[in-house]
């Protein structure tokens, strides 16, 4: 069983469906409301845990009902929440309005932005015990960089899913064992807009696994060979969370070698799009094994 440490965000997604978007100053009745667990960190932690990894989450929530609900959800998924701290700000939320196939989203990071290098230091034992450390960019960059340093100090692989995309500082890039962007995030993270992404991957052999939607994923072997792990053909219902599922799965299966880990991460990503919701679609290990046989 792989031991995965996730350093990242924990949000509650608040989803309202309406016939039209409200105009400025207007109040209207919505059709439906639901809340779903979210945040890239929590999503990736759940994806890895469902696939059998022993997962420890390092994050920060508020002292409020959403924070309590998110911690309870993580515990229920088997994630170790000992290092989820409680900040002064409210638990992060995403207020999502859906109307006629469009969406409008406001994200309030709240307590996620209080996750500090000291929180990472407090969880040092988890780094010591980890097989893989996985992070995204919904918590402060200084904290992500510190996590990369601590992972490096313990000789642990550090995976960075550079989402939401920003230009990555050189030191963080150097400390990253494997970068896991989609095509757009690759260009922004490495500032290679306009360049052929295949050439970019070949410039960093063994260091990037790039997802490419239903086409699957790509990486370059240590000797510069561009490899394609094809996606699995499925009936897509909701692609939300496909990237998070891929990342959690990649960390959970990393011990099987890059090609097999990517094949399984593609399968997990494909299964996730056949069901609604980010975490709602994430497969269990037995579902994945059934799908692959
Ligand atoms: P998102 O932001 O929607 O979570 P992303 O852009 O980060 O996604 P994608 O490249 O779209 O990530 O998807 C991640 C992985 O999920 C892909 O590499 C692939 O394995 C799988 N996947 C995504 N969409 C599909 C699909 N329509 N059919 C099959 N597999 C898919």
Cα 245 to ligand 1 centre (Å):
9
The mean pLDDT value for 246-255 works out to: 98
Provide the β-strand partners of residue 292.
none
211 CB less than 6 Å from ligand 1?
yes
pTM strictly above 0.90: yes
**Does the beta carbon of 274 lie inside 6 Å of ligand 1?**
no
> What confidence score (pLDDT) does residue 41 get?
98
The fraction of the chain above a pLDDT of 90, given in percent, is 95
pLDDT at 40: 97
The yes-or-no verdict on residue 222 having pLDDT over 90 is: no
The arithmetic mean of pLDDT across residues 3-23, rounded, is: 96
The DSSP secondary structure of 163-220, one letter per residue, reads: -S--PPPHHHHHH-SEE--BHHHHHHHHT-TTS-HHHHHHHSTTSBEEE-GGGEEEEE
Confidence of residue 22 (pLDDT cuts 50, 70, 90): very high
pLDDT, mean of residues 259-275 = 97
pLDDT surpassing 90 at residue 276: no
Taking residues 98-117, what's their average pLDDT?
A: 94
Query: Residue 223 pLDDT > 90, yes or no?
Result: no
**What pLDDT does 277 receive?**
85
pLDDT band at 8 (very low <50, low <70, confident <90, very high): very high
Centroid of ligand 1 to alpha carbon of 136 (angstroms):
16
pLDDT of residue 119: 98
Task: Report pLDDT for 44.
Answer: 98
pLDDT in tens, 125-136: 999 999 999 999
DSSP per-residue codes, 19-77: SSPPPTT-----SEEEEEEE-HHHHHHHHHHHTT-EEEEEEEE-SSHHHHHHHHHHHHT
277 Cβ inside 6 Å of ligand 1:
no
Q: In what order do the strands lie in the sheet with 132-135?
A: 80-86, 54-61, 3-7, 132-135, 158-160, 178-179
Q: What is the pLDDT of residue 57?
A: 98
**Predicted pLDDT at 101:** 84
**C-beta of 44 in contact with ligand 1 (< 6 A):** no
How does pLDDT run across 160-202, given as a tens digit for each residue?
999 999 999 999 999 999 999 999 999 999 999 999 999 999 9
In a mutational test of the pocket of ligand 1, which residue from 246, 261, 265 has the highest number of ligand atoms less than 8 Å from its CB?
246
Tell me the per-residue pLDDT of 51-102, one tens digit each, with 9 for 90 and over.
Answer: 999 999 999 999 999 999 999 999 999 999 999 999 999 999 999 999 988 8
Mean pLDDT of the chain: 96
Task: Please indicate whether residue 224 or residue 264 has the higher confidence score (pLDDT).
Answer: 264
Helix H or strand E segment including 146? helix 141-153
For the CA of 240, the closest atom of ligand 1 is: 3
């Amino acid at each position: 069983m792989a031991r995965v440490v996730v350093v990242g965000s924990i949000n509650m997604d608040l989803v309202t469906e309406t016939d039209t978007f409200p105009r400025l100053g207007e109040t209207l009745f919505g059709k439906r409301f639901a809340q779903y667990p979210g945040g890239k960190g929590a999503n990736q932690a759940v994806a890895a845990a469902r696939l059998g990894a022993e997962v420890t989450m390092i994050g920060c929530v508020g002292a409020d009902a959403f924070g309590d609900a998110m911690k309870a959800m993580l515990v229920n998924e088997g994630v170790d929440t000992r290092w989820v701290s409680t900040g002064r700000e409210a638990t992060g939320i995403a207020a999502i309005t859906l109307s006629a196939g469009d969406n409008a989203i406001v994200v309030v990071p709240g307590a996620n932005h209080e996750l500090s290098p000291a929180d990472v230091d407090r969880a040092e034992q988890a780094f010591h015990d980890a097989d893989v450390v996985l992070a995204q960019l919904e918590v402060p960059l200084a904290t992500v960089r510190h996590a990369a340093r601590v992972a490096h100090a313990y000789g642990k692989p550090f995976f960075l899913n550079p989402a939401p995309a920003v230009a990555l500082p050189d030191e963080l890039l150097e400390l990253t064992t494997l970068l896991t962007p989609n095509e757009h995030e690759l260009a922004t993270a490495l500032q290679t807009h306009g360049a052929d992404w295949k050439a970019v991957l070949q410039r960093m052999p063994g260091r990037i696994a790039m997802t490419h939607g239903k086409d699957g994923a790509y990486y370059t072997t240590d000797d510069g060979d561009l490899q394609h792990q094809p996606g699995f053909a499925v009936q897509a219902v909701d692609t939300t969370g496909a990237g998070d599922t891929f990342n959690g799965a990649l960390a959970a299966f990393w011990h099987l070698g890059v090609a097999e880990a990517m094949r399984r991460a593609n399968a997990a990503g494909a299964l996730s799009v056949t069901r609604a919701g980010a975490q709602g679609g994430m497969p269990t290990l037995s579902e994945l094994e059934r799908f692959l046989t």
